Structure 1
């Protein structure tokens, strides 16, 4: 298979002059009684063409939008540059990073003002007390780690802890299916019982273990799972994520997922899925997912939509036809996407499902066996009924190590590492996983530009970084939104600035049910980004990922200036968003503001 890796500097750029914006007052402080942006080319988030206006911010909200120049304590002349709603990163992995790096400079400099956490069905809450250590091990490659044992067990506990960390960006959270499932079945690969099972191991919820006086018919496991999802939603989750290649979320049977979709539908909420297969069976997997959501009655959102493996390139057309059919039947379907030809995840995702079963120690013991390694070689050398990312990559030179717990081998391919170890590639991969206690992430070069562009042009989509930090991370964590503007709006004209703004802000806000965010409208929260499209440059590369995006002149979060002249100010005015507060009740509001609501 041909090498799929893009040029080292993703989206070649030339030196661009920064446009100096004229300011009428000292802007060194991050807040002011009022700020007016004059001569702004406003992208209001609805997808409508831009219009020229003055926009004033006061007390954290958009105070006025006018054809005439507006006065304020501080006035910024944008000289025709764009002013848009702050971008929403619909798939982020900053759950623990925000405790150590609450300033979130790598996101703010992309124009991101809100991150959505709790992805892929595996995250940091809820967690049974008896499995906290195991969950800390399982998610550290995706979500990072803390220097202390997690002090929370519930969604509310995590959100409260995050709030105390005072992040610079707004944060929303999904209820991760795998975490909820572990409350009932730990990390066991089995169907959930319809019968009540007395808490005896992983289950720590007193409500489940002891339903209380007068409960003659305590819930079976499946009903208890639905109740745990209800609790997570009541504590602030916006929907439920699932990850069908990540245990224990991957252990769900379809009837279990339909039952959870029904629970979500009762609140007009939605399910978010990393589907079973994004390569050889991507069309089949998405069709299966849409059917589950249709049977349960909830809105379906596909995580990091892609088509992997050269033999599958072009199947984006078939995927969008599935979406068209679902839309025609009245089903709501949306997705998020990052604009790179490489994905990134835990290196353990290359292992066949049987090799990933059990707790971390079980996996490590298995990987030490020569017989296991020989079986892995056989399994990944050919297509199968599982997500075979190694086969999709085509060559071990297309598997790049981005992070290890020790820092060794970062920035090298499996092919490089195998040569250094004088071992076969699978043997080297297993040795690396054992040596690092499974704490390894990778970038896998498996996608084609034609599929990326086809998805980017579809207005049902949203954008994400899917940023996994540590080591030398995939550049999407630092450059995704800048790359969309630079490469696909300005250079390739794949989507217009107004469609980009709708997909980056308005559509995500509607999906989440954020009634006063995602649009440039009077009375809305002042999450805003001002940028000169000609100056936008996504500088992050695979070789040097921690290079911030240029061109975002101002970024406001809740009315405070978080970025000025492209530089973070240190302001930390992000809000931890809770569903019931943003919805104004227990049910997600129906929002379609692109149609003028």
Structure 2
């Protein structure tokens, strides 16, 4: 046979943003080797007439560091045409790690990313120390391509131990951390990430280690990227402030590397913030430096229960409750005096993460049959039905159901005009899926299929070519993922084959497929026919094929051991 795979007659949207064209695509040894009118035969031929053939999508904001051990396809990513993921965001990684610190590392994931502890304990096969060891451990058993960022939290824990959550680092400790970041980059990491979000704490209530880092420490670690001339810096700093953007701007100029900052979305409690964020980034780009924001493609609905949530962590009294054991928490929530303190907390105008609009908080799932009548209603509507105050109704319903009532909080998005300007902005990266995190409450695998279906096809905010560019080559360029992100001769055959007339995301659904008997939300897609990784079909019409062609993606800083 001339080729391993041949896609016949598809509409090639090549990822560059240029107009699409009709062509056959031939693949040999995992690479695209012919484009156009291809003659010859192949081991496998796909009839792509009437379908789009594009580069596979790259999900750059995931927390799949652990999940790839028990799920080498990082599902539901392939169902949406995603062929590559970037892990290690928000400062969170599973390496480097000293023997005996494994549980400390898990404390960060359990609380910050709401991952079930039992699943992590059963599913993560510890045994590595360095970041290189971690990458070597996952290599060779992947269905999807995986690249990662070196996380500040693990680096600080490795050097300082428990003192990493108690004090600033000494100059000598900072240099030891810098050496670990350099080791990670030379192992092929795609960059470095940190976390200064004031709401992010370990499972035991202590701040994640990176929150105690001085500016000097952060700048020194980011310097590694400039020194090796590779990699991107990703950060979560919490709420938008001018000071945050001063730091982003400074680091983009200092390192001359791409900086990926906060999420930009329309927020009902801060309706002008999205515009302020876009305006804050513009001068940096004008001067020739790379500073990006990131966005969702759907309204940012955060699902939560009062058994496990960060929704109220900006409020001191609420935060104190959320770190209590469940029985003590239930007793406190029923106490009228405690409720008065909670009301006083909510009256403080300074915290902005929770909008305090009970008409935007809906009951998604009720645990008891008699409460099913509230499902789909807002807390405001439910309170009226019960003849109660909003807060009392919210807390009483939760207590009736052992704090397992599932609420859906619409805290961002939902403004089409704002989203139009955000999505069309050249320094906004699409993709904030958080895949692998908050698995019981959120599933945003379909950000790309939503971009193609809702924003490109239905609303015309972007052309098909522009939308595909944002999902592929733009991300590959920012993260230094070479040889991918384009349908071009010599590039890796990472491809998505979909119907532009029907492609879209389905509503999330529950699946009992996590370790230790725990479940999670998954998300299916419409109109995605094939997902191809390094020339092998890993997903066909939503079904995983069993092929394992995925690779570890390494940056240009990679040095062989």
Change (3 A) 1:584 1:295: closer
- Residues 1:84 and 2:54 are matched in the alignment: yes
Partner SS for 2:101: helix
Q: Which residue pairs with 2:263 in the alignment?
A: 305
User: How far did 1:173 drift?
Assistant: 0.8
User: Does the 8 Å CA contact 1:260/1:296 hold for their aligned counterparts?
Assistant: no
Q: Which residue pairs with 1:157 in the alignment?
A: 133
Q: Which moved more, 1:568-577 or 1:464-473?
A: 464-473
User: Does the 8 Å CA contact 2:252/2:291 hold for their aligned counterparts?
Assistant: no
Q: Which residue pairs with 1:181 in the alignment?
A: 156
Given candidates 223, 247, 251, the residue that maps to 2:212 is 251
- Residues 1:322 and 2:280 are matched in the alignment: yes
User: How far did 1:117 drift?
Assistant: 0.7
Unaligned runs of 5+ in 1: 1-24, 26-31, 196-218, 587-597
Q: Which residue pairs with 1:538 in the alignment?
A: 505
User: Does the 8 Å CA contact 1:86/1:113 hold for their aligned counterparts?
Assistant: yes
Given candidates 230, 233, 244, the residue that maps to 2:182 is 230
User: How far did 1:520 drift?
Assistant: 0.9
Change (3 A) 1:413 1:272: farther
Q: Residue by residue, what CA displacement relative to the aligned partner does 1:452-485 show, whole Å, maximum 9, x if unpaired?
A: 33221123333322224576542413x2211111
Taking the TM superposition and a 5 Å limit, the aligned residue runs for 1:336-347 are 336-344=294-302, 347=309
Q: Which residue pairs with 1:559 in the alignment?
A: 535
Tell me the distance in 2 between the aligned counterparts of 1:288 and 1:136.
32
Q: Residue by residue, what CA displacement relative to the aligned partner does 1:229-287 show, whole Å, maximum 9, x if unpaired?
A: 2222223321112222224233333333222222222123321012320xxxx252552
User: How far did 1:377 drift?
Assistant: 4.6
Change (3 A) 1:528 1:156: same
Given candidates 164, 185, 191, the residue that maps to 1:239 is 191
Q: Residue by residue, what CA displacement relative to the aligned partner does 1:555-589 show, whole Å, maximum 9, x if unpaired?
A: 11010011234433222221122335xx5659xxx
Given candidates 418, 422, 426, the residue that maps to 1:455 is 422
Q: How many residues align?
A: 515
Tell me the distance in 2 between the aligned counterparts of 1:561 and 1:584.
28
User: How far did 1:170 drift?
Assistant: 0.6
- Residues 1:169 and 2:144 are matched in the alignment: yes
Taking the TM superposition and a 5 Å limit, the aligned residue runs for 1:570-585 are 570-580=546-556
Q: Residue by residue, what CA displacement relative to the aligned partner does 1:339-375 show, whole Å, maximum 9, x if unpaired?
A: 12125487235213868999x9799999687898866
Q: Which moved more, 1:537-546 or 1:99-108?
A: 537-546
Change (3 A) 1:332 1:547: closer
User: Does the 8 Å CA contact 2:67/2:436 hold for their aligned counterparts?
Assistant: no
User: How far did 1:35 drift?
Assistant: 1.6
Q: Which moved more, 1:118-127 or 1:541-550?
A: 541-550
- Residues 1:55 and 2:25 are matched in the alignment: yes
Taking the TM superposition and a 5 Å limit, the aligned residue runs for 1:478-493 are 479-493=446-460
User: Does the 8 Å CA contact 1:393/1:444 hold for their aligned counterparts?
Assistant: no
Q: Which residue pairs with 2:73 in the alignment?
A: 103
User: Does the 8 Å CA contact 2:194/2:236 hold for their aligned counterparts?
Assistant: yes
Q: Residue by residue, what CA displacement relative to the aligned partner does 1:497-524 show, whole Å, maximum 9, x if unpaired?
A: 1111211110111122122111111111
Q: Which residue pairs with 1:135 in the alignment?
A: 105
User: Does the 8 Å CA contact 2:86/2:147 hold for their aligned counterparts?
Assistant: yes
Tell me the distance in 1 between the aligned counterparts of 2:75 and 2:326.
36
Tell me the distance in 1 between the aligned counterparts of 2:123 and 2:503.
39
Change (3 A) 1:380 1:117: farther
Taking the TM superposition and a 5 Å limit, the aligned residue runs for 1:99-498 are 99-140=69-110, 141-143=113-115, 145-147=120-122, 150-151=125-126, 152-163=128-139, 166-183=141-158, 184=160, 186=162, 192-195=168-171, 219=172, 221-245=173-197, 246-247=200-201, 248=208, 249-268=210-229, 269-277=231-239, 282=240, 284=242, 286-294=244-252, 296-302=254-260, 305-307=263-265, 309-344=267-302, 347-352=309-314, 377-384=343-350, 388-390=352-354, 392=355, 394-395=357-358, 398=361, 415=379, 424=392, 444-449=410-415, 450-464=417-431, 465-468=433-436, 472-477=440-445, 479-498=446-465
Tell me the distance in 2 between the aligned counterparts of 1:186 and 1:316.
38
Tell me the distance in 2 between the aligned counterparts of 1:354 and 1:189.
19
Tell me the distance in 2 between the aligned counterparts of 1:172 and 1:554.
22
- Residues 1:74 and 2:44 are matched in the alignment: yes
Q: Which residue pairs with 2:515 in the alignment?
A: none
User: Does the 8 Å CA contact 1:306/1:447 hold for their aligned counterparts?
Assistant: no
Tell me the distance in 1 between the aligned counterparts of 2:317 and 2:98.
24
TM-score of the superposition, structure 1-length normalised?
0.74
User: Does the 8 Å CA contact 1:401/1:414 hold for their aligned counterparts?
Assistant: no
Tell me the distance in 2 between the aligned counterparts of 1:240 and 1:469.
19
Tell me the distance in 2 between the aligned counterparts of 1:252 and 1:375.
32
Partner SS for 2:524: coil
User: Does the 8 Å CA contact 1:90/1:336 hold for their aligned counterparts?
Assistant: no
User: How far did 1:299 drift?
Assistant: 2.9
Q: Residue by residue, what CA displacement relative to the aligned partner does 1:139-179 show, whole Å, maximum 9, x if unpaired?
A: 13445514166513432232233235x23111111111222
Change (3 A) 1:222 1:377: farther
User: Does the 8 Å CA contact 1:116/1:173 hold for their aligned counterparts?
Assistant: yes
